[in-house]
Structure 1
Amino acid sequence: MNSLSRQLKQQFSILGAFVVSFWTIEILDIAIFSSYLDRFGIIPHNLIGLRGILFAPFLHGGIGHLIANTIPFLVLGWFVMLQETSDFFLVTLITMIVGGLGVWVFGAPGSVHIGASILIFGYLGFLLFRGFFQKNLPSIMLSVIVFFLYGGLIWGILPGLGPFISWQGHLFGFIGGILAARWLSSK
């Protein structure tokens, strides 16, 4: 029981650190920088825009955007950790790279892509396909639970959601999550 308690504390500390960084950066960006930090997002087809692969998930287009991302990030991020806490870091890294590069290559020139939704869709892809690749009952059950809780998000990978919604970030984050599920399943 002590081990489980320690593991839960570690998981919530990791997720909490991410969420606190999201909120701190956004509050500072609004209060001090007048949304200037958003320029550090992914800028497609621009070499300087590649830095956004690392920064974009921590930047948001206002408090509403951040609120919309916080709960799914916490829930799906924790589900990613259920089998191994270390899976979270690997899935996050793969999603950031695959998702970020996909946005950089396929995003509209001159646009700026920001938000943790690239990670959320990566976690969604990972969790939905983990059961398929691992073929064990707990992973399949978690995939089914995630589908019922968040399956409606899949529509977010389609174009035409609105001018300020990065369907490219959603799509390539999702693909990154699937690749992470495949890779971790083969290990």
Structure 2
Amino acid sequence: MVEIWAPMLAAMFACMYFGGLRPAEAAGLRQKDCHLPATGWGLLTLEKTRPQSNKRFTDSGQAHDERGLKHRGVKQTRTVPIPPELVAILLQHIASFGVGEDGRLFRTRTGGVISGSAYAKVWQEARTYAFTPDQAASPLAGRPYDLRHAAVSLWLNAGVHAPEAAERAGHGVDVMLRVYAKCIDDQREVANQRILGALAA
């Protein structure tokens, strides 16, 4: 399984970590959504998502309906600046795998949407290679979605203001403050030092 999926999924997982994308947002990412310059930061303009549901509950009768972004209007988009590391990963991914007929970057060999169970299985197997046995047996990074949590936590711990982090992640600020309160609490000493610096200026 890993041999088949891992090369295609590496960039999808990278989108969750470096860009804070939800899995369904990464699954719906198209080439036209990506501004990937040769140097510097890039930009993703998220427009579509491909959430997985029981076929009985989708409009199309398929497991993955194409929908707008979570918590946004049907035609609303969200822009996410992405660091040079992710720009390079996506450029390499497109060079290696091309894109699907609809422009999607991540897909099955037949052009379909990669199922949650497929990428979760690959993630679990990859953890056994990347982690020690004790780490692999722990809840650490237990789900692909945890990559998104790691991204938002990284932003907040790096000093990115909560409204900016919330905008990038597609959260409301109230949700951001509630879900990631521990990250913000940990910033008290950093904040104190910045305030002292500003007062001394």
Bucket of the pairwise TM-score, normalised by the shorter protein = under 0.3
TM-score by length of 2: 0.24
Larger Rg: 2
Higher strand share goes to which structure? 2
